[in-house]
Chains A and B, each alone.
Chain A
Amino acid sequence: MDARLTDEQRLLQQVAGEIAADASAGWTALAGAGFVGLHVQAGPGGAVAAALVAERFAAALTPMPYVGAGVWTPALLAAAGAGEAQAAVEEGRLRFAPVLRPDLSAPARDGEEGVAFDAEGADAGLVIASDGRLRAVALGEPARGADLTRTLRRVPADAPEQRFPLGRPLTARDRIRTEAVVLAVLAADLLGTAQRALDDAVAHIRERRQFGVPVGSFQAVQHLASHAAVLVEGARSAMRHAAWAATELPEDEALLAARQAKAACSTAARDVAETAVQLFGGIALTWEHPTHLRLRRILLSRAVLGDESAQYRAIADRRLAPAGGD
């Protein structure tokens, strides 16, 4: 793996940052920039590209459903070879939200109640049927959640199916590969949120004065910030490695790297965002300050496809089993 960014990737980050900063930019602008299904179109290293975009969008607390409608469901459609739907999705004419179990820990079981994640503006939810086939289902009422930047919608067990041609059944390998990509991109979402929380907090403690000096000159405050910076850099390494692995390593290794990144970014993001509250002091406790939006976003991204405890269990099954490990 080469973790250094290419010029092309830097440009991508820049464009993503510009779209994220433009409040008037909608889904059409995002699709027009080629960001929907980016990891599918971009070939090798495509998941890294999608992760970089997700990181920027999360940093700006962008309300657009990039992870669910821009990465996850396009990945499912591509794996199923649903060419027509995929093309409509990539052009921004059609939008799907992935349907998860009510606790968000895994894709929904077909025929059971579920929750559509990142469902803002979605035309339908995508469910993977027991035979591996994709099914489009109608979305129900909004589900209220902690995160104020993304939308969840209920999907009742008897949600009516909508007729779209959605390709062939997914194999187990397709599903693992997709899960690895999505976990890596969720890790990027967590990292982007945490990085901006830290950047803002550091800018604040450089300026905020007490006792006649910037509070950031006190070691007690500096060490909180250093701790957070070390976590962010580690999380970034794990995320980049996982995004690279998602398309370049065999499925089981890709999934392991993705689980590690999801676990590392979940714990780091929460710790960093909570540390940022402490660095900001009272202002971070106000509704107007973005800190609570970040904490809320982190709590949701952390839960989707399993929080760190769930990831640890899966990693241990593979790495700490008596015969495991190299």
Chain B
Amino acid sequence: MSDETTVREVLRQRVADFLAAHDPATTERLAFLRARYDAGLAWVFFPEGHGGLGLARDLQPEVDLLFARAGAPGNNVRGNGIGLGMAAPTILAFGTEEQKKRFLRPLWTGEEIWCQLFSEPGAGSDLAGLATRAVRDGDSWVVDGQKVWTSHAHNARFAILVARTNPDVPKHQGLTYFLCDMTDPGVEVRPLRQITGEAEFNEVFLTGVRIPDAHRLGAEGDGWRVANATLNNERVAIGGGSGTRSGGMIGVVSRTWREHPERRTPELHDRLVKLWVEAEVARVTGQRLRQKLRLGQPGPEGSAMKLTFARLNQQLSGLEVELLGEDGLRYSDWTMVRPDGVDFTGRDAGYRYLRAKGNSIEGGTSEILRNIVAERVLGLPPEHRVDKHVPWKELDK
């Protein structure tokens, strides 16, 4: 028996023992989730003491499945994607012991929802050029600025925030990473209505927001490095794939295909089967990437996955609209709503088509991701830049 098989069996037993001691049917939801965290069965690839057991990341799906089968309560994965997929691994990598103790457990249980205050109206692809200022005032920082494209901001208790703490140095060096309390009176959240009619995102205005220095993540001036850990995780979270052959957009579109034999054309057939193969390629690539990740810190390789994900989602959702002809243009509901989570494949073909347009822009435009693959995966020399060695305050804005 290989070591890996032994680990799997020990882990299965641990889950079984936990479920025997905490019957999901009779244990209160939050008590159950907290106990699961304390038993190290929340995210097994996190270290012991922080909800995990220090095991390989690819053991997690089986643990989740065993809990789901036993009817265990969920921890609001859909409503807390930023927290689970991005804030948590960053806090784990750069946080102090106090910060990990304070933030990780309520984050995992879903008691505290997180959002991400990175992008600004003037800083999208050029994220390092952001202008939100944080000025030191005794034991805290005072933050002023405007952020945009903030999912979950209307539900969030905390945010991961990057702000400029030193305008006198080149742009990458003057940034600091903070954990921002969204209940501070200086935080104002306004819905940002998208082409789908929904307001999944928000604009966030920060006016004199006070953040204690204890909520700084990483060193002053090290914010770019910390933010990159978050962004690498984001690309795996978005582009990592559904894990099943019938999941994601390919699953939705091939179901539509099977249900509408009267709509088929040879040209659409050829395109769909090619996309089927490409979706399978993306799925097994995601599987391979997850196996290579050990303790939750992906590198730039995730950019390749996210590139493929965006292209596939757009081509598939476009094909579905064509397949459905005039029905593809029907759209069920334009009512402005503020959903609790991101939904790429839900509702109808029109929604999916419009929502997928964001896939090549959010979480790094496809062009920026190609730069990352070129420079950080292939090791090509970076393009000549006029702004890299100039103090931020002297740049044209």
Contact stretch, chosen from A33-41, A92-100, A175-183, A215-223: A215-223
Q: Are B281 and A227 in contact (CB under 8 A)?
A: no
Q: Are A226 and B370 in contact (CB under 8 A)?
A: yes
Q: Are A238 and B281 in contact (CB under 8 A)?
A: yes
Chain B, residues 52-84, CB within 8 Å of chain A (1/0): the string is 000000000000000000000000000000000
CA distance in complex: A312, B270 (Å): 8
Instruction: Kindly identify which residue among A2, A260, A267, A319 contacts B254, using a CB–CB cutoff of 8 Å.
Output: A319
Complex A-B, nearest 4 residue pairs according to Cβ-Cβ distance, in ascending order: A222-B374, A226-B373, A237-B285, A226-B370
- Say how far B371's CB is from chain A's closest CB, in angstroms: 6
Q: Is B393 an interface residue when CB atoms closer than 8 A count as contact? A: no
Q: Is A43 an interface residue when CB atoms closer than 8 A count as contact? A: no
Contact stretch, chosen from A20-28, A228-236, A286-294: A228-236
Q: Which of B83-100 contact A (CB under 8 A)?
A: none
Sample of 15 further A-B pairs with CB below 8 A, known A226-B371, A229-B374, A326-B245? A202-B380, A213-B384, A219-B367, A219-B371, A222-B374, A226-B370, A230-B307, A230-B373, A235-B281, A260-B277, A315-B273, A320-B276, A322-B258, A324-B258, A326-B246
Q: Are B284 and A216 in contact (CB under 8 A)?
A: no
Q: How large is the interface on A (under 10, 10 to 19, 20 to 34, 35 or more residues)?
A: 35 or more
Most B Cβ at <10 Å: residue of A229, A267, A313: A229
Q: Which of B216-235 contact A (CB under 8 A)?
A: none
Q: Are B273 and A237 in contact (CB under 8 A)?
A: no
- Please indicate the chain A residues that have their CB under 8 angstroms from the CB of B307 in the complex: 226, 230
Using A202-B380, A226-B370, A326-B245 as known contacts, say yes or no to A233 and B277 having CB atoms under 8 A apart: no
Q: Is B282 an interface residue when CB atoms closer than 8 A count as contact? A: yes
Q: Are B383 and A222 in contact (CB under 8 A)?
A: yes
- Please indicate the chain A residues that have their CB under 8 angstroms from the CB of B285 in the complex: 233-234, 237-238
Q: Is A172 an interface residue when CB atoms closer than 8 A count as contact? A: no
Q: Are B378 and A325 in contact (CB under 8 A)?
A: no
- Please indicate the chain B residues that have their CB under 8 angstroms from the CB of A227 in the complex: 370
Q: Are B269 and A320 in contact (CB under 8 A)?
A: yes
Q: Are A2 and B291 in contact (CB under 8 A)?
A: yes
- Please indicate the chain A residues that have their CB under 8 angstroms from the CB of B381 in the complex: 206, 213-214, 216-217
- Please indicate the chain B residues that have their CB under 8 angstroms from the CB of A325 in the complex: 246, 254-255, 258
Q: Is B347 an interface residue when CB atoms closer than 8 A count as contact? A: no
- Please indicate the chain A residues that have their CB under 8 angstroms from the CB of B308 in the complex: 230, 234
CA distance in complex: A234, B274 (Å): 14
Q: Is A56 an interface residue when CB atoms closer than 8 A count as contact? A: no
User: Could you give 21 example pairs across A and B, Cβ below 8 Å?
Assistant: A1-B287, A218-B383, A219-B371, A219-B374, A223-B370, A225-B373, A225-B380, A229-B304, A230-B373, A233-B285, A234-B278, A235-B281, A238-B285, A241-B284, A312-B277, A315-B273, A316-B272, A319-B273, A320-B254, A320-B272, A326-B246
Q: Is A205 an interface residue when CB atoms closer than 8 A count as contact? A: yes
Instruction: Kindly identify which residue among A223, A315, A326 contacts B277, using a CB–CB cutoff of 8 Å.
Output: A315
- Please indicate the chain A residues that have their CB under 8 angstroms from the CB of B277 in the complex: 238, 260, 263-264, 311-312, 315
Using A222-B370, A320-B276 as known contacts, say yes or no to A229 and B377 having CB atoms under 8 A apart: yes
CA distance in complex: A322, B269 (Å): 13
Q: How large is the interface on B (under 10, 10 to 19, 20 to 34, 35 or more residues)?
A: 35 or more
Q: Is A302 an interface residue when CB atoms closer than 8 A count as contact? A: no
Instruction: Kindly identify which residue among B257, B281, B288, B370 contacts A320, using a CB–CB cutoff of 8 Å.
Output: B257
Instruction: Kindly identify which residue among A237, A267, A322 contacts B288, using a CB–CB cutoff of 8 Å.
Output: A237
Main secondary structure of the interface of B (DSSP, over half): helix
CA distance in complex: A2, B292 (Å): 10
Chain A, residues 288-326, CB within 8 Å of chain B (1/0): the string is 000000000000000000000001110110011011111
Interface residues of B (CB under 8 A from A): 4, 245-246, 254-255, 257-258, 261, 269-270, 272-274, 276-278, 280-282, 284-285, 287-288, 291-292, 301, 304, 307-308, 367, 369-371, 373-375, 377-384
Interface residues of A (CB under 8 A from B): 1-4, 202, 205-206, 213-214, 216-219, 222-223, 225-227, 229-230, 233-238, 240-241, 260, 263-264, 267, 311-313, 315-316, 319-320, 322-326
CA distance in complex: A322, B382 (Å): 50
CA distance in complex: A319, B279 (Å): 13
Q: Are A3 and B291 in contact (CB under 8 A)?
A: yes
CA distance in complex: A154, B89 (Å): 61
Using A219-B383, A260-B281 as known contacts, say yes or no to A237 and B269 having CB atoms under 8 A apart: no
Using A206-B379, A219-B383, A225-B374 as known contacts, say yes or no to A319 and B282 having CB atoms under 8 A apart: no
Q: Are A312 and B274 in contact (CB under 8 A)?
A: yes
- Say how far B335's CB is from chain A's closest CB, in angstroms: 33
- Please indicate the chain B residues that have their CB under 8 angstroms from the CB of A240 in the complex: 284, 288
CA distance in complex: A315, B261 (Å): 17
